[in-house]
Structures are given as structure tokens and as C-alpha cells.
Structure 1
Amino acid sequence: MARNSSTQTDIKNMLVPLVQAIGRSGKLIWLIVLIIAGVLLFRYFTSEKPTETTEYNTDLIEQQIKNVGKLVVTEGHYSQVMTYKDQQKYMMNLITFEKKALIIINADVTVAYDLSKVKYDIDEKNKTITIVSIPKEEIKISPDIQFYDVEQSTLNPFTGEDYNKINRKVKADLARKIEKSKLKTNAENRLVSELAKILILTNTMGWKLEYNNQEIQTENQLSKTLKL
């Protein structure tokens, strides 16, 4: 029995240091694991992030600009009546040959902005879109001219030149009316509404929109800055 007791004591004496060593090794392993994890986290937060997000943002912005880049058309209709007269005088104005006509004009007018012609620059580093230039409006006048009560003589008939002159005068008169009407203003408002879609996108994504060396932050500011 004494022998067995001695053997058990020897075994205990051998196991205790071993268990203690394993315990110390376990703590060391956990310490190493924590150090490695810390290094990995440090590298993750301090290393350069991949550019996928920037590229995605840029692609999204370019796609939005393409969606905006359409033809914005505002239409109007005008009607007017005018009298055209022309006289040919002979023999020191003693003899006169007159021609005249009552003219009724119905005209369709369009004011358009081709937004596919908008030039812009994308600065990915500073997250800024700069509108470089906006195309001028395109005004198209399509008059329908009808002649009534035409009076002319053999020596002073209506000719092609008369019709061309009348057509030029009609378009000039309509152009003045368009300038005084709300047609151009309505067209500009539609232009602002379309470009405001880019402003909304940049604000949502944390980017900036600039035009004429100004940062555009609201649609109202955009409208004032875009006075063409």
C-alpha cells in the first residue's frame, strides 16, 4: 500500500507542472490570437478602402445625367391677323399700282433645350459635379399663312419675294411676342426641373453641384444661377 501511495504521489508531482504549463500555454495562445486580431482590425481600418463605392457612385451619377439628357420641349400656339400692302408708282407718282391682302397667321411655336448637349465635369476625388455649359434654347416657328381679300394688278402682282417678305415679317413679329410671353419662362422652368434631378442625386450621395463657380444647394439657387 505504501508503495502505491508513493507512486500516486510521483504521478501527481509530474502532472501538476504539466497542467500548469498547459494553462500557461493556453493563455499565451489566447494572447497571440488577440494580438493577431488587433493587427488585422488595425490594417482594415487604416488601409485604403476599395474604389468600388466611388466607381458605383460615379456610374450612378453619369447614368442620371444621361437620363436627364433629353430634349425638353415647350409648345405654344399663336394667331394673328395682318394686312400687307405694296405700291408701285410711276410717272413721278402720278400712277400707282397697289397690291394688298388680308393675312391670317396660325403658328405653332416650340422652345426646346437639348440637354444631351450639357457639358459637365465629374471630380471623383472632391465628389463634385461641375456644369460647364448649357445649350441655348432652340426656338422653332412654324407659321400657317392664309391670304384673303387679295387685290393686285397685272403690273404689280404678288410674287415669290412678297411671300418671302411676309414670312420673314411674320416670324420676326412672333419672335418678339415669344420674348414677351411666358413660353420662354416655362421652358426655362422645365430646364431647371430636369437639372434639379442631378442636384437631388448629388445631395443624396453627399456630392456637390457647381455652376458658374458657385456651389448649388437648392433648386431656387439653381434657377437664379441658370438665368440664361
Structure 2
Amino acid sequence: MSLLLDRLWQGLIDTGLMVGVSSLLALILGIPLAVVLVTSERGGLFEAPALNRLLGGLVNLFRSVPFLILMVALIPFTRLLVGTTYGVWAAVVPLTIAATPFFARIAEVSLREVDHGLIEAAQAMGCRRWHIIWHVLLPEALPGLIGGFTITVVTLINSSAMAGAIGAGGLGDLAYRYGYQRFDTQVMVTVIIVLIVLVTLIQLSGDRLARYFNRR
């Protein structure tokens, strides 16, 4: 029992590291990408249809590839970037690349839902375009951005479990090696319960935070 708890704790730490780093990177990269997608469309603050089509195509391309296939396809890039294709840090690369366009599309929807009248009012008052983005667009979309980020983190937990099953470590690796391969039902059930609790806590926290910032 003690050995199982030790492995479970280490798996939880590895999963937390994978999901934490990749979700943070997806947040840092995804919001600017969403802003560019919204503001570069026709009639946007920084109208650039060619750039909009290019970025939109790239986002759709990466979103359409299943995570397992993407992880395998990125092996050379992952090895170049982190020096290995196994372990926690090797999993961060494909997790980030998969999560960034996913979150960017959700954030794009939230940004589009901002009342256009607020933007027009800010323009009428002489606000600069970057001020409109920073002081109108992002604050008004904040509840939706938080909700979208929560969904992204939950999706990353699921993907990290899949990555763990093919050598990335974490709870997925624990469930596969010590549960599935050794036919140990106790390990499988324990990992499933931990994942359910983890996802539930993240979802509840994200929903509560989104409600707190929802001023509409």
C-alpha cells in the first residue's frame, strides 16, 4: 500500500508538472493568437485578411490532428527542443502545441461575444486600438476566457494521461504500467478516482472564478 501511495504521489506530481507548464504556455500563446485572429479579420481593429486566413488555417490544421498522432509526428522537434522524447518535459512540447490552438479558438469565441457597441464607443472617445484591446476587449471577455482556459486544462489532463501511457510519466504511465499491464485493478481504480477528483476540483474552481469576474 505504501509503495502504491508513493507511485501515486509521484504520478500526480508529474501530471501536475506536465499540465501546469503546458497550460501556462497555452495561455501565454493562445490569448495573443486569439486577439490577432479577432482584430485582423475584415472590419477588425487591425484589418489584415491575408494574415487572418493564414493563422486560421494553421490553427485548424493543428486542431484537426488527433493528439496521439501529433505527439508521434512531433518526435523529431521534441528531441531537438528538449533533448529527449521520453519523460515529463518531452510531453510538454506536444501538449503545448495541441493546447494552444484549442484554447485560441475558445478565446476567439469569447472575444467575438464582446458587445461591438463598447468598441465603437471607445473608438468614438479617441482610444487607441491597443488601449481598446487591453481595456475593453480583454476585460469584457474575461469570464469567457477563464471558462475556456478551464476547459483547456481539463483537456490537457486527459491528454497527459494518454501521453503517460506511451512513456511521458504521470498518472497515465502509472495506470498503464502498473494497472493495465499487470492486471492490477486496484491501481486502475485508484488512478481513475484521482483523475475524477482532480478534474472536478479544477472545473469547480474555474467556474467559480468565471462567475466572480462576470460583471454582465
TM-score (norm 2): 0.28
TM-score (norm 1): 0.27
Larger RCO, structures 1/2 (Cα 8 Å, 6+ apart): 2
Q: Which structure is higher in helix share?
A: 2
Larger Rg: 1
Q: Which structure is higher in strand share?
A: 1
